[in-house]
Chain A
Amino acid sequence: MSSRRIRTVTVILAGLCAAGLLSPPAMADELYDLGEYLSGDCTACHQLQGESKGIPSITGWHVESFVTVMQAYRQGERNDTLMQMVAKRFSDEDFQALAVFFSKQ
């Protein structure tokens, strides 16, 4: 499947989830899979085991707060040049996928 198609699916799914309408298991899996792949950008620093020495733990967060924090880095509202750079690599849909993945670790 092309990544453009995945993106479209994710956008739709994120929209539906945000509206609280539905979360079909297959689509949720797809979002999780995207999040799992994207998480490779994070796991060089943040540990899936939730260790927080030197670099904060990002596992088990609420999806919404996770997305809000990532948006704040991307918009420069949270001050950390490193995380600002990381956040600029992603769309809102990607944040949603990452949030879902890390919330389940």
Chain B
Amino acid sequence: MNRKFTRREFGIMAGAAGVAASSLGAPAIAQGKPRLVVIGGGPGGATIARYVAKDSKGAIDVTLIEANAVHTTCFFSNLYLGGFRTFDSITHGYNKLASDYGITVMKGFAIGVDAAKRTVSLAGGEKVSYDKLVVAPGIDFMFDAYEGYSEAVTSTITHAWKAGPQTQVLKRQLEAMDDGGVFVIAPPPNPFRCPPGPYERISMVAHYFKQHKPKSKIICVDAKDKFSKQGLFQEGWDTHYDGMVEWLPLKITGGVKAVDVKGMALHTGGDTIKGDVINVIPPQKAGNIALAAGLANESGWCPIDPFTMASTRVAHVYVIGDSSIAAQMPKSGFSANSQAKSCAMAIRHALTGSKAFDPRYGNTCWSLISPDNAVKVGASYKATAEKIAKTDGFISKTGEDEALRATTAGEAFGWYDGITADIFG
């Protein structure tokens, strides 16, 4: 069942610039081990690389292709904006995946997949062969969604929806803003990465303003009429940040139509909303490489087999994390990590005949309202023939006492340490 490497492929690979000795160790090929290649070292990709390498105990050769040397997690990036989490503390390297699990970590940008030859091509011209491929690139943005909006605009009007330099720019802008200024945030339509994320961001910016710029205001121009954990957030804004946050649903404004960088304003159906700092979180789709590889359908996201996360469109390819259509599972780091583990088991079974267990899917998302007040929502899911379906769930309640909310915040901090250890080793 395992595909043998031909001399020709080996030649191509070993000859590729910068890929030679370290990344394509001759021993693996000499032993004819099956090879898993993973595109993307986020919560989905890094978790699956680690679990396949760990649980196959060296029987599968694992290569992780990641564009950046380090990964800054989107989760807790709002806390960095809130001023109580450092950028370093949410940034993780890949050293342990290489040293402790024997994963070949290649820094490179994947630009194409040849499904017939089973190779991934990188921007530098290299080609990497696979027996099975996991595509976990997260999201990309629809930069043509609004008039006047483009990727170039994001140096002034940030998205900060892929954590990293964008998040740092937004933080600096908030710090530079005068007291009494206006922060405008425009969350995207569904489906998008982290449904409660924009509203946690509002809470964290409000926390920062309350401490440093109490006369400032936050205006949210939403593309929706309702949002995740709405009652909990609105209660939290009332009790913690009285009068600071104004949320405008779609039915009031008609949503963002145009972005004016020079005038620092958003144009909606009828109004012009000016801001001193503006954060537009644009509509989203699967990561570009997933689209280039033909993994997405007309929705812009990638359909999968609910039992294995295998692409329903391209053989030997799996899609996990935000890029996948995991039906009722939200696009979260927790979901990506959960999908990765079931998919790892399915891939090991396919490559080495290891035991196949039932897939298992779960999610829990905490959101911080203030540093010591958090709410959470969670659910269990199971694979059915049509989709990954929700079977059970819970959510925090309005009116909970401060002590419970503080315990919940403590859990969120514990979870961050736990999940990042589970992802990056």
Interface residues of A (CB under 8 A from B): 1-3, 6, 33-34, 36-38, 40-41, 43-49, 51-55, 81-82, 84-86, 88-89
Q: Which of B357, B413, B418 contacts A37 (CB 8 A)?
A: B357
**A82 vs B410: C-alpha distance when bound (angstroms):** 14
Which chain A residues lie closer than 8 Å to B360 at the CB level? 38, 40-41, 89
Closest 4 CB pairs of A and B: A54-B414, A55-B414, A40-B341, A81-B394
Name which of A36, A85, A86, A88 has the most chain B CB atoms within 10 A of its CB: A85
Q: Which of A40, A49, A81 has the most CB of B within 10 A?
A: A40
Min distance, Cβ A85 to any Cβ of chain B, angstroms: 5
Can you offer 24 A-B residue contacts whose CB atoms are under 8 A?
A: A1-B356, A6-B355, A37-B357, A40-B338, A40-B341, A40-B342, A44-B334, A44-B337, A45-B364, A45-B418, A48-B421, A52-B414, A53-B417, A54-B411, A55-B411, A55-B414, A55-B418, A81-B394, A82-B394, A85-B394, A86-B380, A88-B380, A88-B392, A89-B392
Q: Indicate whether B376 reaches chain A with its CB closer than 8 angstroms.
A: yes
Using A3-B358, A85-B380, A89-B360 as known contacts, say yes or no to A55 and B393 having CB atoms under 8 A apart. Answer: no
List residues of chain B with CB within 8 A of the CB of A34: 357
B362 touches A86 (CB 8 A): yes
Q: Is the CB of A41 within 8 A of B362?
A: yes
Q: In angstroms, how far is the closest chain B Cβ from the Cβ of A87? A: 10
CB of B418 within 8 A of CB of A44, answer yes
**A54 and B356 form a contact (CB under 8 A):** no
Tell whether B151 is near chain A: CB-to-CB under 8 Å.
Answer: no
Q: Is B39 an interface residue (CB 8 A)?
A: no
User: Which residues of chain B have C-beta atoms less than 8 A from A47's C-beta?
Assistant: 417-418, 421
Task: Choose one: A1, A45, A49, A86; the contact of B414 (CB below 8 Å).
Answer: A45
User: Considering the chains assembled together, what is the distance between the CA atoms of A3 and B383 in angstroms?
Assistant: 14
Instruction: Answer yes or no: B143 CB below 8 A from chain A CBs.
Output: no
A-facing mask of B324-348, CB < 8 A → 1, else 0? 0000000000100110011001000
Looking at the assembled complex, report how far the CB atom of B332 sits from the nearest CB atom of chain A, in whole angstroms: 11
Chain B residues near A33 (CB, 8 Å)?
355
CB of B194 within 8 A of chain A? no
CA distance A67 to B209 in the complex (A): 47
Set of chain B residues within 8 Å of A89, measured between Cβ atoms = 360, 362, 380, 392
Asked if B415 CB lies within 8 Å of chain A CBs, one says yes
Q: Chain B's interface: helix, strand, loop or mixed, by majority?
A: helix
* Cβ-based interface call for B419 (8 A): yes
CB pair B356–A44 under 8 Å, yes or no, is no
Nearest CB in chain B to that of A43: its residue: B422
Chain A residue numbers with a CB within 8 Å of B422 are 43-44
The smallest C-beta distance from B392 to any residue of chain A, in angstroms, reads 6
Asked whether, in the complex, the Cβ of B362 is within 8 Å of the Cβ of A3, the reply is no
Structural contact, A53 and B51, CB atoms closer than 8 A? no
A40-B51, A44-B337, A44-B338 are known contacts. Are A6 and B357 too (CB-CB below 8 A)? yes
Asked whether A53 lies within 8 Å of B356 as measured between CB atoms, the reply is no
A37 to B54, CA, bound (A): 12
Complex Cα distance A43/B344, Å?
15
A53 cross-chain contacts in B, Cβ below 8 A: 410, 413-414, 417
Candidates B51, B410, B421; contact of A54 at CB < 8 Å: B410
Chain A residue with minimal CB distance to B422?
A43
A52 / chain B contacts, CB cutoff of 8 Å: 414
Q: Is the CB of A46 within 8 A of B358?
A: no
- Nearest Cβ on chain B to A105's Cβ, whole angstroms: 13
- Measured CA separation A84–B411 after assembly (Å): 15
A38 to B341, CA, bound (A): 10
* Bound-complex Cα distance A103 to B166 (A): 43
Task: Report if B412 contacts A (CB, 8 A).
Answer: yes
In the complex where A44-B422, A86-B362 touch, is A54 in contact with B338 (Cβ < 8 A)?
no
Q: Is the CB of B380 within 8 A of A3?
A: no
CB distance from B161 to the nearest CB of A (A): 22
Contact B378 A85 (CB under 8 A): yes
A38, B410: Cα distance in complex, Å: 25
Closest A residue to B421 using CB positions: A47
Residue of A nearest to B396 (CB): A81
Residues of B near A1 (CB, < 8 A) are 355-356
**Assembled-state Cα–Cα distance A40/B357 (Å):** 12
- Please give the distance in Å from A86's CB to the nearest CB on chain B: 7
Q: Which residues of A contact B376 (CB under 8 A)?
A: 82
Closest Cβ–Cβ distance, residue A37 to chain B (whole Å): 5
